[in-house]
Structure 1
Amino acid sequence: MTLADKLLLGMVLLLVAGSYYFAWQPSMAGTHVEVYQGNTLYKQYDLHQHTTVQVPGNLGDSVIEIDHGRARFKSSPCNSQFCIHAGWQQQSGDVMACLPNGIHIQIHGGESRFDALAF
């Protein structure tokens, strides 16, 4: 291995370490979740508590689970189940919705990855 190879390898390692440092931002983790019925705020929950919430919607109750700094739709009466397949969300700015049931949740706190959302 020549000196040039060692310098190139060192530069690559610094680039990878720098990319990891700047790309991984723990401040983007959310601190609380807001649950909405239509356009009305139903309730706000701390993301670091363990709870299961039943939210009445247009078709029936949606069940939202909150645990270890993340939230998800556990069950919902809609046919497509896209809200459930979205899985766990934890970053500030994340949004999940069950549009047929009229329920959506938003993660807040820390820095958001998005400046605007529409659905």
Structure 2
Amino acid sequence: MQKKDLKLIIVVLVAILGFYLVNLIVNSKKGTSVEVYVNNKLYKAIDINDEVEFKIKGKNGYNIVRVHDKGVEMVEASCPDKVCVHTGFINKPSQSIVCIPNKVTIKIKTDKKDSHEDIISQ
């Protein structure tokens, strides 16, 4: 093994460690609310600590959503592929559930005080 090979291995390992640490920081935030969107419009916002189950009826079908244990899951859907149901239980702000045929999106949001957004001024 040459010196260049060893340097390349070290650089790759440092890059992997960096990506891992960034992922840990991003996923360390706790969700505070669940937002359900239908046709890209806010349908319902629910506190993540609530225990609730509800049905969303639309033109294309229905979805049954359950919020529990500080997370959310799609329990049942009328769509043919059931990708949204197979997504399973989510509880981190970087996760989401999407049902494309029924146009339903579920996101976990964090407290506004914790988020750092870029500001662009002119």
Fold similarity call, TM over 0.5: yes
Contact 2:27–2:93 (CA under 8 A) maintained in structure 1: no
Contact 2:84–2:97 (CA under 8 A) maintained in structure 1: yes
Please report the TM-score for the alignment, with normalisation by the length of structure 2. Answer: 0.67
Three-state SS of the structure 2 residue aligned to 1:41 is strand
In structure 1, stretches of 5+ residues that fail to align are: 1-18, 113-119
The answer to which of 25-34 and 44-53 deviates more is 25-34
Paired residues, what number?
A: 94
Three-state SS of the structure 2 residue aligned to 1:83 is helix
Contact 2:27–2:94 (CA under 8 A) maintained in structure 1: no
Contact 2:55–2:64 (CA under 8 A) maintained in structure 1: yes
Q: Which residue of 2 aligns with 1:34?
A: 35
In structure 2, stretches of 5+ residues that fail to align are: 1-19, 116-122
Contact 2:35–2:107 (CA under 8 A) maintained in structure 1: yes
From the superposition, tell whether residues 78 and 109 of structure 1 become closer, same or farther in structure 2 (CA, over 3 Å).
Answer: same
Give the whole-Å Cα distance in 1 for the aligned partners of 2:26 and 2:60: 38
Q: CA RMSD in A?
A: 2.6
Write out the 4+ residue segments of structure 1 that deviate beyond 6 Å after TM superposition.
Answer: none
Q: CA deviation at 1:73?
A: 0.5
Give the whole-Å Cα distance in 1 for the aligned partners of 2:34 and 2:43: 11
**Sequence identity (%):** 26
Contact 2:36–2:43 (CA under 8 A) maintained in structure 1: yes
Q: Are 1:74 and 2:61 matched, yes or no?
A: no
